[in-house]
Structure 1
């Protein structure tokens, strides 16, 4: 057994330390993979900052990272097929999901495993105990028994699969929660980060009459326009929320019929509700923490708004996400959201780039120093 490296967080808001752990042996149902590419997610930043403590079960020390693609190096007994029944072989690239318990109301009756209160979320779990490699900012990843997993299609680059293993499947779930988008709809997307941009791309496939993206900075809004936005509203050029609300209402003829909150910025949810048109449908996904927001409840009632929350995505959403990345790579240049590539010892820089919005999606290559 050899050792492998990982970037470990021992204290919130502190620098990462590169540590070594024994490479695990797979138990029945498990896989061991060499991480080929990992990408930084806004959720990693939230966990690093301690924003989700008390909202989700989190236990330091942590190996962050949950957007990844890895090549299988060891297969436990019974783990030789993926969640779609495809064979899993040594050398195959895989992605995998958080692990619901399968024994609660949300898993069994509601059929909503992403809301399982006992769900195992590797990058929020204590990495000091074997098998150690709980997150994917590491040379090795451990796919626990019960974790649903998928073989990555040949046409999907590992960096795309990494980004898609969280951001795109989250968008797929939000679109499913939203319901059918018609060509007569006007669509609002709040946020021009990875989730907002992927929402823009996939929503554009439905051909809505208007597709308005609110966000920034300018380089991200340029990607939004390349990926199907008919109009963009810069939060830098229009810093006043009330002015943004009026501009979106004007662009959509009184307010959008479909809205996605994918920004996670303070006040974004309340602002989006103010933007929505009558009988509008509004899905919130971006806000996972932060302060409480004051919402105009009378507007919800008076405009007959339908509001839903959407949390993460399940393995079926992963499968659709990978299919979308594969099928529409000629239509959308997925590389447009990828930033610089960093090694494990450079993870602090990658996280800083994400927090400063200097890069849309920093990439981690654990084979680098």
Structure 2
């Protein structure tokens, strides 16, 4: 069968293999026909050779962690043949740590977790894959064209779950949300904020292209410029750019008892002249919270599936700005100017 693979650690080793072996039964009881995989920044970093780890003894790593497939067989009865399904990316470590032992593998403390298409588990960019029932998330049939968005939605579902948990520290009724960055994570974070009935603002650099319209379609307000130029103090910030200057600015911008969730990852290696004392004073005197969030566990994937089911299907479809057949796989992994989400499709 066909599979898109890399040699981990070797830059630009991406290739389409025609004779990749069928998924072994050890991978899971549920056999799935791939429909599509999403492409994200993690894939680009793996292709560049920055990281990635093949399973022990494997000839390479099948990439692709944003999955969508259709069940071919499930002898466990968890799902039925024909059901839409996505595979959870991260699996708990075998030790396990205290968090993995209670299925909070997104909060693994010892780093021995594995991840499909990233770390020691084959990914989903292959014509057929297997998954254990515990890591198989069924999807509403109406999401057949957009279900590949489930993985990034699970990331922001976790972010909002943790925002809600932190909010219980006091009597708090948030009204406004600032999302910085209008990539897939930012737009989906804004979607979940509007589903909570909050007043949503999205800040991004783009003045043209599809992003302003997508934000407006949510009933949210689109901004360009800098954080400092905004004329309000948000109760909640979901920072999705990872840009160091923006990260520091939003920490100072949040309203008293505000919550700032850092969901973007900075590349590092850049020094900024910044008044750390002023930031400390703001956070302490205003009782603000800043926390980081990445990955997701089963609870968040289920929350994400519900959020996608409630969303406008045409809006979700607009997030997928390019659909590329697997035969033209290299095009899917070559960035284009107005890309939001690219889907590599195995069936057309």
Partner secondary structure for residue 21 of structure 1: coil
| Pair 269,293 (structure 1): closer, same or farther in 2 beyond 3 Å | farther
Partner of 2:114: 120
Partner of 1:154: 141
Partner of 1:131: none
TM-score, with structure 2 as normaliser: 0.83
Q: CA RMSD in A?
A: 2.7
2:11 aligned with 1:21: no
Partner secondary structure for residue 22 of structure 1: coil
Partner secondary structure for residue 189 of structure 1: strand
| Pair 24,222 (structure 1): closer, same or farther in 2 beyond 3 Å | same
| Pair 315,211 (structure 1): closer, same or farther in 2 beyond 3 Å | same
CA contact (8 A) 1:7 1:345 kept: no
In the TM superposition, 1:1-369 aligns within 5 A as: 4-10=1-7, 11-14=9-12, 16-19=14-17, 20-27=19-26, 29-51=28-50, 53=51, 58-59=53-54, 61-75=60-74, 79-81=76-78, 88-97=79-88, 98-101=90-93, 103-108=96-101, 112-116=104-108, 117-125=111-119, 134-143=122-131, 145=132, 147-157=134-144, 159-164=145-150, 166-179=151-164, 184-208=174-198, 210-217=199-206, 218=208, 219-229=210-220, 231-234=221-224, 238=225, 244-248=226-230, 250=231, 252=232, 255-287=233-265, 289-291=267-269, 296=276, 297-298=279-280, 299-329=282-312, 333-353=315-335, 356-367=336-347
Partner secondary structure for residue 222 of structure 2: strand
In structure 2, what is the Cα distance between the partners aligned to 1:312 and 1:324? 17
Bigger shift: residues 320-329 or 11-20: 11-20
CA contact (8 A) 1:245 1:274 kept: no
Aligned residues: 326
| Pair 304,69 (structure 1): closer, same or farther in 2 beyond 3 Å | same
| Pair 268,61 (structure 1): closer, same or farther in 2 beyond 3 Å | farther
**Structure 1 spans left out of the alignment, 5+ residues:** 82-87, 128-133, 239-243
Partner of 1:85: none
Partner secondary structure for residue 20 of structure 2: strand
| Pair 293,115 (structure 1): closer, same or farther in 2 beyond 3 Å | farther
Partner secondary structure for residue 2 of structure 2: strand
TM-score, with structure 1 as normaliser: 0.79
